Structure 1
Amino acid sequence: MNIDHIEAFLYVVHYKSIHKAANALFLSQPTVTARIKSLERELNVELFHRDGRSVILSDKGKDFLPFATQIVQTFQQGKKQLEETQETDEVCIGTNGVTAQYFLAYALPKWKESYPHLRFQIVTGSTNIILEKLQSHQIHFGLIQYVHREGIGNELLLSNAVKLVMHREHSFQQNTLIKVRELAQQKMVFFECGAFDWNYVHKLFEVEGVTANIEVRTDHLEVAKEFIRTKEYMSFLPHLCVKKELESGEFVEIDVKHLLDMNQHIFLTYNNKDTLAPAFWEKVIETAEQFESGYEKID
């Protein structure tokens, strides 16, 4: 029994017209008529009485109607269930620009090694925007700061503390814990963008009644890093974006933990883990651990 034939029967019953049913189904009238006749031959009954352009449901048609309705409803429910549970070949991730540029650029190639069939879409935006997309099922998961919302899960994934960094050949020599007034004398490039509350940095100087020597402001992390490479500037930057340079020794961290402890944890945020294979979620966690440890995990 063809499900399309049964669906055509239900549309004709609803509209009481083959012509109107055909329009609703985006089919030609002869096609709908043919489907009804095929169903009648298969059931060996007459489902409708024809009266010119009108069709009237027969007694046998009335008997068949509840069964036809149940068949189509069950089919649609089964189809929807399969669509929701089948593994997707595209994973949509929502995050801020820093995490996308520095963590996902590292992680995605590793995910592709384990899941070569997967394709990825990265959506960047604020935490609120990503949360909205998560709740409306536009993305599979977010890499954002912690959110407290009913039905939303959060798992700590990465630490992204703010670091004060300079080039290894910068003239500044830190022999003791740096003081705010001493720091205020250094040339700085200031990055003012992203999820961090940079007011904490400004307050650091305001409390001491001094003004930071900010010669350059930028909303681009790589621009800030290029100024550091001139060996004349310092900058407060998220750890994710300078991790590679700190590990290689190109940049060095100036200890300011006694002055400022500014951390922004990044959480793996989701509302339904069943949308992706359990092994993939494990791979995401494993990759984050490798990224933070600074070495390749050996199996």
Structure 2
Amino acid sequence: MNDEVLETYLNIVKTHSLTKTAENMFISQSAVSNRLISLEKELNVKLIERSPGQKGILLTQKGEEFVEFAKRHQELNRQIQDWSRGDVTEVLRVASVISLTDYVKGFYRELLGKGKLSITLATHWTDRIISMLENRETDIGITPRVFYSKAVEAVPIFQESLYLVSSRSVSSYPDFIDAKTLKRAHEIYFDWGTNFVEWHENQMNPLELPLMVTDTTELLPELLRIPDSFCIIPACIFKNFHDPDLKLSRITPEPPPRICYLLKLKEPHSQKQELVRQFEQEFKEYVRKLEDVSL
């Protein structure tokens, strides 16, 4: 299976068109078709559905499954070529929730500046990250919560206190506020893990619906313009907004902290074991310098 054929297939997947693939690769459409047919014969599977008058391409189930294998095959070939030239670049796949990616973005700059390392960084929800680890689609996960998995180990890295955030101009929450006085109907709700959910249910009426449930913090400055609205988030997210209209309030009783976990396979690939260990060590060193966190 050569790289030329795999590159053609991945291009077809990207463009959803044999014609556009031919244009992108500066080859004829018949050459694209021949490479696809050759690949299907070699694999003995049907990768693409073909129907008269069909616009674009439609992957079969096998075709969708093969995409990840094709990418891995290309990456392995690239690493072999680097190795043969004595120019080895280690590749580490990291999956993280977006709020933690934003918070530790300086870490990746520092890490990449230390040596020959290539990082593939993807952002997903926690359940997807755990699934990716179980399926060996990523090497490391960084999440604010964990779900049980026989294959995955969760290492607590740091924790952050949670605060109430509101708008000074349209709300009047005090600097210190009793959680039982808060109304869920005014809340933009984030799930910060099992302990937080339990605390939240004990402090506020669980039968009252929140204003919004979301995992996207980018919307907050706009949503907090709604009178009396509030959210409960770590200080690091608040600081990222750089918005003087927003204010922090301490909550009593204090909510459980958000915990950052590093997720890794209990039995990692042998060639990645040392790289994962180094990443974990460097990550721990980096967070020691962060404000508003405890280890």
Scaled to the shorter chain, the TM-score interval is 0.5 to 0.7
Aligned mates of 1:195, 1:156 — CA distance in 2: 13
CA distance in 2, matches of 1:107, 1:275: 19
Distance of 1:175 and 1:225 partners within structure 2: 19
Aligned mates of 2:175, 2:192 — CA distance in 1: 32
- Please give the residue correspondences for 1:43-122 in structure 2 after superposition, counting only pairs within 5 Å: 88-100=89-101, 102-115=102-115, 117-122=116-121
| Counterpart selection for 1:220 from 203, 216, 219 | 216
Q: Deviations over 1:157-194 (max 9, x none)?
A: 1324442112456652627643623x33x983514567
Name the CA distance, whole Å, in 2 between partners of 1:220 and 1:151. 28
Quick one: which amino acid aligns to residue 90 of structure 2?
D
Specify the code of the residue in structure 1 equivalent to 2:92: V
- How far apart are residue 265 of structure 1 and its match? 1.4
- For residues 121-142 of structure 1, give each alpha carbon's deviation from its aligned partner in whole angstroms, at most 9, with x where no partner exists: 2233343432232233321211
Q: 1:262 to 1:179 in 2, by over 3 A?
A: closer
Provide the residue aligned with 2:36 in structure 1: none
Segments of structure 1 that go 5 or more residues without pairing to the other structure are: 1-25, 27-78, 295-299
Matching residue within 231, 255, 262 for 2:256: 262
Q: 1:274 to 1:250 in 2, by over 3 A?
A: farther
Could you tell me which amino acid in structure 1 is paired with residue 132 of structure 2?
K
**Which residue in 2 is equivalent to 1:155?**
155
Aligned to 1:3: none
Q: How big is each residue's C-alpha offset from its partner over 1:215-246, in whole Å with a ceiling of 9 and x where there is no partner?
A: 56655311113333678642223454224458
Q: Report how far residue 276 of structure 1 moved.
A: 0.7
The CA RMSD measured in Å over matched residues stands at 4.2
Aligned length: 204
Alignment of 1:204-243 (within 5 A): 204-206=203-205, 218-228=214-224, 233-243=229-239
Write the deviation string for residues 52-84 of structure 1: whole angstroms up to 9, x where unpaired: xxxxxxxxxxxxxxxxxxxxxxxxxxx9xx99x
Distance 1:164 1:139, change over 3 A: same
Find the residue that maps to 2:251 and give its secondary structure: coil
CA distance in 2, matches of 1:215, 1:150: 36
The one-letter code matched in structure 1 to 2:289 is Q
Tell me the equivalent position of 2:186. 188
Shift, 1:93, TM fit: 0.7
1:166 corresponds to: 166
1:88 to partner: Cα distance = 4.8
Which residue matches 1:143?
142
Distance 1:292 1:93, change over 3 A: farther
Secondary structure of 1:276's aligned partner: helix
> Which TM-score applies when normalising by structure 1?
0.52
- CA, structure 1 residues 126+195, in 2 after alignment: closer, same or farther (shift >3 Å)? farther
| Alpha-carbon distance, 1:200 to partner | 5.0
Give the CA deviation at 1:150. Answer: 4.9
Q: Percent identity?
A: 12
Normalising by structure 2, report the TM-score. 0.52
Residue 137 of structure 2 aligns to a residue whose secondary structure is coil
Residue of structure 1 equivalent to 2:287: 288
Q: What amino acid is the match of 2:283?
A: V
Does 88-97 or 186-195 show the bigger shift?
186-195
Task: Please say if residues 160 and 263 of structure 1, whose CA atoms lie closer than 8 Å, have aligned partners that are also in contact.
Answer: yes
Aligned CA distance change for structure 1 residues 114 and 201 (closer, same or farther; 3 Å) = same
- 1:29-53: CA deviation from partner (whole Å, max 9, x where unpaired): xxxxxxxxxxxxxxxxxxxxxxxxx
Query: Does the C-alpha gap of structure 1 residues 111 and 177 become closer, same or farther in structure 2, counting only changes over 3 Å?
Result: same
How far did residue 156 of structure 1 move? Answer: 1.6
The code of the aligned residue for 1:268 comes to L
**Conserved in 2, the CA contact under 8 Å of 1:190 and 1:216?**
yes
Aligned to 1:129: 128
For 2:110, the aligned partner's letter is K
Over 3 Å counting, the alpha-carbon distance change for 1:95 and 1:171 in structure 2 is closer
| AA matched with 1:204 | Q
Question: Gaps (5+ residues) in structure 2?
Answer: 1-41, 43-79
Q: Does 1:253 align with 2:248?
A: yes
* Structure 1 residue 269, shift from structure 2 partner: 1.8
- Tell me the equivalent position of 1:274: 273
SS at 1:138's partner residue?
coil
